[in-house]
């Protein structure tokens, strides 16, 4: 169960905007229902989930780890979830190694040194099939694998999730007959949680059936998702142009990276939108806390709390006191604070929470009067790169 709490001042703000709240709600829900890009709200074929589990079992027979190549919406979701369910200090029995987000030569050298003595499989994700960083890493790792494995072995070890009919990666699939999956045209990259792009790497570490079940249960939070979106827009109108996602567990930080992309790419257009940031408390109370408490009043905060009431140890009690005290202190300093409470951090409830945020990011974008499902600004840096490169694959339309 997810519970959403506003501080008193936000509640008063919403009550003052009662008429506007309901008028805009009707318009937003209608836009949402008529969008051509909400394939992420449609049911998942259980046979597809079973096929992912079967492929996972095959991969585990011949590999010691899975290397996932992707960037942005192609990897942030599964990476965030895998980190949430990982151990703080111990490697899991079957590691998932996420690469492709840096162009560092040193990083690539160390990656190959790590993989040199391991049998591994490669999972590559790009909806367009032309994403520059993803394709570069794919090419480098494929050449590395060709020195270790025969073509027959490569066909067992390289798996690609991309566009159904076009793009560089689709050409690779057609040429080498690699195992492949596709991301439906009506699902954008950052909304692709329930496609093989994320569910396949997740199948190695969580119960994907439970995750998908919880994900669709998230539909029941449509009213709360709109309320949160409306609240954010009203705070923006008051000059609160930054949202600080506050977590108290280091394993939650990758989840906030997923949130940051979800909201920034969805609503950050036409000189509009809220800039998302994140902090880890209590660590950042000793660095950024002063600014939050008494600095430029341009931000509001959204806190995450997992119910640990069953734990009775000293640290759990202290953590609860710190959590409540921080919200009290920041509210007293004039910071608007939202609170999201999760009754249990498991696959089902995490699925609920992520669907809630995807709905809310969509509603928020409509309130800002922008398209939630495009990202035209991302193309600007890519077009600049085109002027200085001769990569044939990149001179096609990219993500």
Contact 96, 213 (CB under 8 A): no
Asked if the model's pLDDT at residue 296 lies above 50, the reply is yes
Using alpha carbons, list the distances in angstroms from residue 93 to 49, 69, 86, 204, 283.
22, 20, 11, 10, 30
**DSSP structural state of residue 73:** G
286 is annotated as an active-site residue:
yes
Q: What percent of the chain has pLDDT over 90?
A: 84
- With 60 as the cut, is the pLDDT of residue 395 above it? no
Average pLDDT over residues 312-320: 80
Tell me, yes or no, if the two domains 2-34+213-367 and 41-206+377-395 fold the same way. Answer: yes
Domain ranges of the chain: 2-34+213-367, 41-206+377-395
Give the CATH number of domain 41-206+377-395: 3.40.50.10490
2-34+213-367: CATH superfamily: Glucose-6-phosphate isomerase like protein; domain 1 (3.40.50.10490)
282 prior amide bond cis, ω within 30: yes
Q: Which of 24, 233, 240, 265 is catalytic?
A: 265
- Phi and psi (nearest 5°) for 276? -90, 135
Rounded to an integer, what distance in angstroms lies between the CA atom of residue 108 and that of residue 34?
44
Q: Which residues of 6-43 are buried (b: 16+ CB within 10 A; e: fewer)?
A: bbeebeebbeebeeebeebbeebeebbeebebbbbbee
* Catalytic site residue from 90, 271, 286, 388: 286
Name the percent of the chain lying above pLDDT 70: 96
Q: Which helix (H) or strand (E) is 245 found in, with range?
A: strand 242-247
Answer with the residue of higher pLDDT: 393 or 157. Answer: 157
Report residue 398's pLDDT band, with 50, 70 and 90 as the boundaries.
Answer: very low
Which pLDDT score, from 0 to 100, does residue 397 have? Answer: 45
- Average of per-residue pLDDT across 209-227: 97
Task: Note every long-range contact of 213-216, with CB atoms under 8 Å and residues 24 or more positions apart, other chains counting.
Answer: 213/348, 213/351, 214/347, 214/348, 214/349, 214/350, 214/351, 214/352, 215/351, 215/352, 215/354, 215/355, 216/43, 216/44, 216/351, 216/355
Q: What pLDDT, in 10s, does the model give residues 10-22?
A: 888 888 888 888 8
Task: State residue 390's pLDDT score.
Answer: 65
The backbone region for 336, taken as left when phi is positive above 0, alpha when psi lies in -120 to 50, beta otherwise, is beta
Q: Is the pLDDT of residue 130 over 60?
A: yes
pLDDT digit string (tens) for 8-59?
888 888 888 888 888 899 999 999 999 999 999 999 999 999 999 999 999 9
Q: What is d(CA 100, CA 96) in angstroms, rounded to the nearest whole number?
A: 13
The DSSP secondary-structure symbol of 274 reads P
What does the pLDDT read at residue 81? 98
| Average pLDDT value for residue range 131-157 | 96
8 Å CB contact between 6 and 204: no
Catalytic annotation, pick one of 166, 251, 260, 382: 382
Query: What value does the mean pLDDT take over residues 166-177?
Result: 96
pLDDT tops 50 at residue 224: yes
Cα 37 from Cα 226, distance rounded (Å): 18
HSE, CB side, 13 Å, CA atoms: give it for residue 79.
23
- pTM equals 0.94
| CB of 353 closer than 8 Å to CB of 361 | no
Confidence class for position 309, pLDDT limits 50, 70, 90: low
**349 has pLDDT over 50:** yes
């Amino acid at each position: 169960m997810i519970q959403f709490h506003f501080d008193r001042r936000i509640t008063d703000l919403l009550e003052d905007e009662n008429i506007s709240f309901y008028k805009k709600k009707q318009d937003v829900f209608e836009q949402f229902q008529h969008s051509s890009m909400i394939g992420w709200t449609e049911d998942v074929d259980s046979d597809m989930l079973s096929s992912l589990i079967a492929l996972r079992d095959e991969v585990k027979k011949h590999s010691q780890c899975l290397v996932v190549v992707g960037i942005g919406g192609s990897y942030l979701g599964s990476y965030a979830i895998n980190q949430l369910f990982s151990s703080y200090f111990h490697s899991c029995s079957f590691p998932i190694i996420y690469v492709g987000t840096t162009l560092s030569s040193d990083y690539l050298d160390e990656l190959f040194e790590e993989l040199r003595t391991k049998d591994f499989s490669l999972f590559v994700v790009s909806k367009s099939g032309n994403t520059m960083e993803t394709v570069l890493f794919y090419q480098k790792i494929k050449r590395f694998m060709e020195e270790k494995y025969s073509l027959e072995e490569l066909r067992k070890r390289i798996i690609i999730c991309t566009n159904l009919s076009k793009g560089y990666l689709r050409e690779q699939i057609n040429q080498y007959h690699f195992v492949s999956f596709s991301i439906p045209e009506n699902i954008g990259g950052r909304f692709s949680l329930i496609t093989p792009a994320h569910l396949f790497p997740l199948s190695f570490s969580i119960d994907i059936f439970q995750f998908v079940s919880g994900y669709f249960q998230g539909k029941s939070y449509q009213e709360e998702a709109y309320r949160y979106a409306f609240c954010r827009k009203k705070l923006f109108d008051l000059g609160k142009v930054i949202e600080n996602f506050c977590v108290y567990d280091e394993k939650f930080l990758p989840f906030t990276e997923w949130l940051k992309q979800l909201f920034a790419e969805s609503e950050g257009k036409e000189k509009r939108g809220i800039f998302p940031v994140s902090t880890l408390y209590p660590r950042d109370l000793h660095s950024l806390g002063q600014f939050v408490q008494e600095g430029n009043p341009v931000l509001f905060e959204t806190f995450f709390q997992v119910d640990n009431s069953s734990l009775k140890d000293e640290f759990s009690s202290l953590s609860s006191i710190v959590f409540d005290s921080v919200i009290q202190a920041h509210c007293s300093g004039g910071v608007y604070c939202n609170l999201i409470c999760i009754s249990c951090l498991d696959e089902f409830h995490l699925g609920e929470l992520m669907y809630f945020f995807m709905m809310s990011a969509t509603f928020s974008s409509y309130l800002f009067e922008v398209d939630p499902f495009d990202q035209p600004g991302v193309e600007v840096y890519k077009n600049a790169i085109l002027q200085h490169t001769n990569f044939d694959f990149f001179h096609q339309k990219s993500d």
